[in-house]
Structure 1
Amino acid sequence: MASIEYGFATVSDLDDLLALYAVLRPQYPAYVRGDAEKALASLLGQPHLRLIVARFDQRVVATCRLALLANIGRASRPLGLLEYVVTAGPFQRKGIGQQMLGFALDVAWHLDCCKVVLLSGTQRDLAHMLYEELGFRGDREHGFFIDAPL
């Protein structure tokens, strides 16, 4: 059996990434093919973003996005924001998401982030248990969001 490798997404990962995002947020409209390619290329070219992946047999089976947010507080150390954390169904509960998030945290600390915030849907109780095992706390700060008007 092949081992899991952790690293950064490339443009050739597009199909795997789109499949994972469709599982995570099925209510979102699908990309038009050319638009998806442009969006991924743009994202990968931004120095303040890291698209982290877990690969099994050269296929992306999990991903998350780490955004570095400029900060005037905390001696101008950036804030890390983790979002779009998803693992393909057959690979869940095997430690892959945990290892990938550990990799993401290592990247954030290497980039001198003062803290990392992780956003997750309120209904994802099993995922929240994983995040707490990694040291994330859901009882210290409270997040709010608002969607753009249609």
Structure 2
Amino acid sequence: MAIIRVAMQSDLTGIIKLFKELRPHDPDVSHDALMSGWKVIEHDENNHLMVAELDGEIASTCQLAIVPTLTNGVRPFAVIEHVITGALFRRRGLSEKVIEAAVELAWQQGCYKVMLLSGETRTAAHGVYEKVGFISGTERGFVIKNPHLDKN
């Protein structure tokens, strides 16, 4: 049975392994850079990496960012990104479980909505998001990427 929880520093190796499956062309980063990035996330009460641990391995993850705002009764909104389940662990509902945990954490923090972006052609993933309760077609997402960085 999978354990769904907020990530700990000891989970980083497994999380990075999953991210390499999701984004194989991302540049490798030094251990120091990784630890620096982890410390920012770990100490930010509005940023959470959720994981599914199965048989001692990190099998699935997603990242939840809670954004304070002055609208909607000064209630924050949330964004979920980087949803990935390792190839060996797919078709077990683990992505759904980490997303559900992230959404529940957002509700506990008083968020009025949770947004999730997904690649246009990732139709299998879209089915997972809809199964969890996300609805497409109610708002429209737009993305601009930094032209000064790699095109990944």
* TM-score, scaled to structure 2: 0.93
Residue-pair matches, total: 148
Q: Distance in 1 between matches of 2:40 and 2:56?
A: 22
Q: Which runs of 4+ in 1 moved over 3 A?
A: none
1:64 aligns with 2:74: no
Aligned residue in 1 for 2:95:
97
Q: Percent identity?
A: 32
Q: CA deviation at 1:122?
A: 1.6
RMSD (Å), alpha carbons: 1.0
Paired letter, 2:139: E
Deviations 1:79-111 (A, max 9, x none): 010001000011111111111111111111111
Structure 1 portions without partners, runs of 5+: none
- Map 1:60-139 onto structure 2 (within 5 A): 60-139=58-137
Q: CA deviation at 1:58?
A: 2.3
Aligned residue in 1 for 2:16:
18
Q: Distance in 1 between matches of 2:100 and 2:141?
A: 22
Q: CA deviation at 1:128?
A: 0.2
Aligned residue in 2 for 1:149:
147
Paired letter, 1:30: D
Structure 2 portions without partners, runs of 5+: none
Q: CA deviation at 1:60?
A: 1.0
Paired letter, 2:103: L
Q: Distance in 1 between matches of 2:88 and 2:56?
A: 16
1:46 aligns with 2:44: yes
